[in-house]
Amino acid sequence: MARATKTRSSKRGPMKGEGRAAPRNGSPAWAIRRARGVQVAESRALGKLGWLVHGFSTRPGGASVLDGKPALNLGFTDWDERERVAANREKFAAALDAREMPLVTLRQFHSDVIHVAAAPCTEAPKADALITGTRGLLLGVQTADCVPILLADTRRRVVAAVHAGWRGTLARIVVKTLGRMTMEFGTRARDVVAALGPAIGRCYEVGPEVAQAFAAQFPSAADWFDGPFEQLAHGEEPLWLPWLTMMPPGHVLPPPRVQLDLRASNRWQLTDAGVPEKQIAVSELCTACRTDLLFSYRREGAKTGRLMAVIGIK
């Protein structure tokens, strides 16, 4: 994915390359708001809903230090101190003007388990999606390449935060979250506004097992992959086999790779479930291409931070 230009220094500057799903009046679907020394990415569509608070955190600022720079690490990682992460979470909440809202986070494990929160949790539940219809709770999911998805039912005033890596995407966690909202709160897909935040883009390399799993689950899977998807997914004569015979003895070519656009799959799943396309905002910011602004596990390894996407009812 092309490296986007740096965000402007204005207080609420539009992000270059963030024009997809732009509203009719032409203003950008995404913006970065600067507050308390940090930058918060916001979906314009969710921002217009005065009854909720939301935001996608970014890297700069904060009490943690990565590569000699202050970083807003919001996850309790091995390399960072708990106190710094707690201070960062405070700062992020303050930037959202949501310091009084108890934060509910998860012990995420790439599942399709959904937790419905009605009160603050003393211990983080083991799940990968959170739903609430209760006022005053801030729901948060943590990512460093995976797709953070925020949902808001504008009619029933119910919100959700979803963590979707390739396993969660394959398991249709976003659709299951919508289904659970319908079951518990009577949500209709057509009333839902969705924002798919910063995540690894079309540079996300995956192997044949992922291509095969997606091909077996989704008829339109090919649309979300770059590279020799058909060969990998359907076990056709691999294109790379002739090259193998040309290799000197002892040298083995790595298996071919394809690139998977996780956000494209989740976007398709939402529209397939009945959420109108114009109500889905998809960030184009790539975590792996923009480590100046975001965190990427794939690009940086274990010693990187965690971004957080939060949503709550005021």
Contacting positions for Zn ion (CB under 5 A): 1, 201, 203, 286, 288-289
Cβ(38)–Cβ(56) under 8 Å? no
Which CB, 227 or 276, lies closer to Zn ion? 227
Q: Which residues lie closer than 8 Å to 138 by C-beta, 6 or more apart?
A: 53, 93, 96, 98, 101, 102, 103, 104, 310, 311, 312
Tokens of 207: 């192997």
Q: Which residues lie closer than 8 Å to 208 by C-beta, 6 or more apart?
A: 232, 233, 255, 256
Which CB, 4 or 35, lies closer to Zn ion? 4
Q: Which residues lie closer than 8 Å to 19 by C-beta, 6 or more apart?
A: 28, 29
How near is the Cβ of 201 to Zn ion at its closest, in Å?
Answer: 4
How near is the Cβ of 286 to Zn ion at its closest, in Å?
Answer: 3
How many of the other CB atoms lie within 10 Å of CB of 292?
12
Which CB, 111 or 291, lies closer to Zn ion? 291
In angstroms, rounded to a whole number, what is the distance separating the alpha carbons of residues 240 and 215?
20
Which CB, 203 or 211, lies closer to Zn ion? 203
Handedness of CA 25, 28, 29, 34 (dihedral sign): negative
How near is the Cβ of 288 to Zn ion at its closest, in Å?
Answer: 4
DSSP codes, 1-43: -PPPPPPPSSTEEEPTT--TT--TT---SEEEEEETTEEEEEE
In angstroms, rounded to a whole number, what is the distance separating the alpha carbons of residues 313 and 135?
5
How near is the Cβ of 140 to Zn ion at its closest, in Å?
Answer: 24
How near is the Cβ of 291 to Zn ion at its closest, in Å?
Answer: 10
Which CB, 104 or 196, lies closer to Zn ion? 196
How near is the Cβ of 258 to Zn ion at its closest, in Å?
Answer: 14
Which CB, 187 or 296, lies closer to Zn ion? 296
